[in-house]
């Protein structure tokens, strides 16, 4: 392995600009050993270590089948289309590689045909996009919706022409022989290296445990990049959820079946309309968007419980009407199974006394989610690992809290794993300045946004924009955007006004913009060079203690004799802050300032835990020092 990563090694000779890095060599050696012994390894590799190459090379050299799971589809595409081909070419790897995503990422030819037949009531914009999808469908080989440039990734059309585990017809589908998901899985079965994402991996595990067919084949090496996300994602899949999207999709499919195949049963249209209306009414009853609440409390209210029953009645009507027409339509038969599943989920969610779970709901502008989530996934994940004689590699730039990975290990149930911590090769003492400004109002005080804008506008102007302002709430994000737009004569970009990819492209093309965002920009965003030289964080990213999932985990910690703050809230916040700060320095040539507008970093005892978990760099509380640093850039 040293031969590959050394100064005279394979990668230096094959990859322009590649330089040997000791931390990368150490990580690759540790992974090689874990692969040989089929053991478990945790690696925190600081930004710039080159962890992607450090796990790809041992995987390709091993001669074993490997699955590499990433934190998001964007990272999955980057790994498969950029990083993996680089290593394949450098090592002259002769094996096969494949990328595999969830069903909803592939065009469904059957659902496209159904929309072509019944899409007359679509809005004009979606009808135009449907024409573009038809044209793309005639030329695409893989059916990956991310490759259809003519239709935005967040278009409401995509759910209508893609399938999910719930609505897929499986082998009964008339288009089964041409199915893009089936083709993708065939490529994965034949491949030596398969790139997936955490959501697909965990969804697939649940499907396998239910005794049904799977998408992801078995492998001898499992690598999880951005592994810090795994415990929270696993809790979603090891619980139960019912969403308005699922219910609306069911209603839509019943209507399509009625209009195209079972036109004599008008009761189908009425039942579907009732379900759609009950779903919409339930969403309106939940109140303001962006809120996560306690489902136990919600269902204790008689008026809200009545809405819950009306939703169940609408599902029961769909179930009963479809039952009378089974065998007449494959789409309707699949809808019958889903109506039964959703009724069972709704019934389980109504039984809020089951111990060991958090019951919660949340709503966006148009949609809602009802969920029960296990308080711990450790035992379940441990069982999964023990059932497979496989090498398990978990890596991220943010696994440790105060120099230890015990918190992550306990949450995921991998406490007996080997641990390796590698510092970033970046020279933070030279490249970065950390500022915690003096004289800021308490974070919960009114007019806090106005004070932030007043104090920070001169710094943003001096830096010529090129700034991410990362917020811990949507409310603060929107307030800051409105105030900065009044103050600044430069682009002020706001998360949610367009897709994440388009927003990032606008930021890069402007060259002098301020981008104000919340959670989706705290991680998984890689902006190198002068385009980004300032990151401002409004306050320490503690999750709201009223969040029902967090509250349940804190209560569970207290029952076990642990301090809920130090065992749950604080570690979560430390890892989130490390991710946010990590947006700034992405390259050895990068230089910039991080401003954290929360005096608790220096006034509270726990602030030291945050500081010790961040890169070691010069610190100041004086904004004039920040201006001097900017002037010297």
Assign residue 277 the CATH number of its domain. 1.10.275
Q: Would you state the pLDDT for residue 120?
A: 62
Position 292 in a domain = yes
Who's near 245: CB < 8 A, 6+ residues apart?
159, 367
Q: Strand pairing partners for 480?
A: none
Which CATH number fits the domain that encloses residue 519? Answer: 3.40.50.300
The answer on 448 and 315 residing in a single domain is no
The answer on 127 and 67 residing in a single domain is no
Using DSSP, state whether 469 is helix, strand or coil.
Answer: strand
Cα dihedral 381, 387, 388, 391, rounded to 10, equals: 50
3-state helix, strand, coil in the chain (%, to 5): 55, 15, 35
Task: Extract the residue ranges of the chain whose pLDDT is less than 50.
Answer: none
- Reported pTM: 0.89
Who's near 299: CB < 8 A, 6+ residues apart?
305, 308, 350, 352
The answer on 538 and 451 residing in a single domain is yes
Query: Strand pairing of 357-363 and 368-374?
Result: antiparallel
Q: Which of 421, 408, 399, 420 is nearest to 378 (CA)?
A: 408
| Residue 138 token pair | 């005639």
Q: Would you state the pLDDT for residue 444?
A: 59
Position 233 in a domain = no
Q: Would you state the pLDDT for residue 106?
A: 95
Q: Would you state the pLDDT for residue 500?
A: 83
The answer on 166 and 197 residing in a single domain is no
Cα–Cα dist 486/302, whole Å? 45
Q: What are phi and psi of 115, to 5 degrees?
A: -70, -35
Using DSSP, state whether 498 is helix, strand or coil.
Answer: coil
The answer on 342 and 208 residing in a single domain is no
Residue 618, judged by CB atoms within 10 A of its CB (0-12, 13-18, 19+), counts as middle
Alpha carbon separation from 395 to 42, 69, 284, 372, 595 (Å, rounded): 6, 11, 42, 28, 27
Cα–Cα dist 464/455, whole Å? 16
Position 187 in a domain = no
The answer on 148 and 16 residing in a single domain is no
The answer on 163 and 123 residing in a single domain is yes
Q: Would you state the pLDDT for residue 62?
A: 95
How many domains does the chain divide into?
4
Only one residue has tokens 């009114």, namely 446
- What is the tens place of the pLDDT at every residue in 179-223? 999 999 999 999 999 999 999 999 888 877 655 556 788 899 999
Cα–Cα dist 413/114, whole Å? 45
Position 234 in a domain = no
Of 403, 422, 441, the one marking the end of a domain is: 422
The answer on 386 and 328 residing in a single domain is no
Position 235 in a domain = no
Of 361, 395, 422, the one marking the end of a domain is: 422
Q: Which domain holds residue 216?
A: 2-95+192-228+377-422
Position 327 in a domain = yes
Taking residue 89's Cβ as centre, other Cβ atoms within 10 Å add up to 11
The answer on 461 and 579 residing in a single domain is yes
The answer on 350 and 251 residing in a single domain is yes
Cα–Cα dist 62/59, whole Å? 5
Position 186 in a domain = no
The answer on 80 and 9 residing in a single domain is yes
| Residue 410 token pair | 């306990």
The answer on 417 and 337 residing in a single domain is no
Q: Would you state the pLDDT for residue 627?
A: 95
């Amino acid at each position: 392995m040293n031969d590959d990563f050394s100064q005279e090694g394979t990668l230096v000779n094959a990859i322009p600009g590649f330089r040997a890095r000791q931390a990368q060599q150490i990580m690759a050696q540790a992974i090689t050993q874990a692969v040989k012994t089929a053991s478990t390894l945790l690696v925190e590799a600081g930004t710039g270590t080159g962890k992607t190459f450090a796990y790809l090379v041992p995987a390709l050299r091993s001669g074993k089948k490997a699955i590499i799971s990433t934190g998001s589809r964007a990272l999955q595409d980057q790994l498969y289309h950029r990083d993996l081909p680089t290593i394949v070419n450098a090592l002259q790897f002769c094996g096969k590689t494949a990328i595999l995503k969830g069903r909803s990422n592939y065009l469904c030819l059957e659902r496209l045909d159904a929309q072509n037949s019944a899409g007359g009531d679509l809005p004009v914009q979606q009808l135009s996009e449907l024409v573009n999808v038809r044209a793309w469908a005639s030329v695409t080989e893989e059916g990956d919706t991310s490759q259809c440039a003519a239709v935005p990734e967040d278009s409401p059309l995509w759910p209508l022409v893609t399938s999910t585990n719930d609505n897929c017809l499986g082998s009964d589908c008339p288009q089964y022989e041409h199915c893009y998901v089936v083709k993708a899985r065939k490529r994965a079965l034949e491949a030596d290296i398969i790139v997936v994402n955490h959501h697909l991996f965990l969804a697939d595990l649940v499907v396998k445990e239910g005794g049904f067919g799977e998408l992801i084949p078995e492998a001898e090496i499992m690598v999880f990049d951005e592994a810090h996300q795994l415990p929270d994602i696993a809790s979603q899949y090891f619980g139960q959820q019912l969403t308005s999207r699922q219910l609306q999709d069911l209603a839509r499919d019943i209507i399509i079946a009625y209009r195209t195949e079972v036109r004599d049963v008008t009761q189908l249209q009425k039942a579907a309309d009732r379900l759609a209306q009950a779903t919409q009414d339930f969403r309106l009853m939940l109140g303001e968007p962006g809120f996560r609440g306690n489902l136990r409390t919600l269902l204790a209210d008689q008026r809200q419980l009545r809405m819950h029953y009306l939703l169940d009645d609408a599902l029961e009507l769909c179930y009963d009407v479809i039952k009378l027409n089974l065998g007449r339509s494959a789409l309707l038969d699949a809808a019958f199974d889903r109506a039964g599943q959703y009724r069972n989920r709704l019934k389980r969610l109504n039984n809020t006394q089951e111990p060991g779970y958090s019951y919660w709901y949340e709503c966006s502008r148009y949609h809602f989610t009802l969920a029960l989530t296990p308080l711990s996934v450790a035992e379940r994940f441990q069982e999964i690992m023990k059932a497979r004689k496989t090498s398990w590699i978990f890596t991220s730039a943010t696994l440790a809290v105060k120099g230890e990975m015990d918190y992550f290990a306990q949450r995921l149930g991998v406490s007996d794993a080997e641990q390796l911590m590698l510092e970033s090769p970046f020279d933070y003492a030279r490249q970065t300045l950390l500022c915690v400004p003096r004289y800021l109002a308490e974070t919960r005080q009114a007019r806090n946004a106005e004070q932030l804008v007043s104090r920070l506008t001169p710094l943003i102007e001096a830096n010529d924009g090129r700034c991410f302002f990362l917020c811990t709430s949507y409310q603060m994000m929107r307030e800051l955007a409105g105030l900065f737009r009044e103050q600044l004569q430069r682009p002020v970009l706001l998360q949610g006004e367009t897709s994440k990819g388009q927003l990032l492209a606008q930021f890069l093309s402007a060259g002098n913009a301020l981008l104000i965002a919340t959670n989706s920009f705290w991680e998984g965003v890689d902006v190198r060079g002068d385009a980004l030289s300032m990151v401002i964080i409004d306050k320490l990213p503690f999750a709201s203690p009223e969040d029902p999932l967090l509250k349940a985990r804190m209560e569970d910690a207290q029952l076990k004799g642990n301090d809920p703050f130090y065992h749950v809230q604080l570690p979560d916040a430390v890892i989130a802050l490390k991710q946010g700060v990590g947006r700034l320095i992405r390259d050895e040539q990068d230089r910039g300032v991080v401003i954290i507008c929360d005096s608790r970093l220096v006034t509270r005892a726990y602030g030291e835990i945050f500081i010790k978990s961040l890169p070691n760099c010069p610190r100041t509380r004086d904004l004039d020092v920040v201006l001097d640093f900017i002037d010297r850039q």
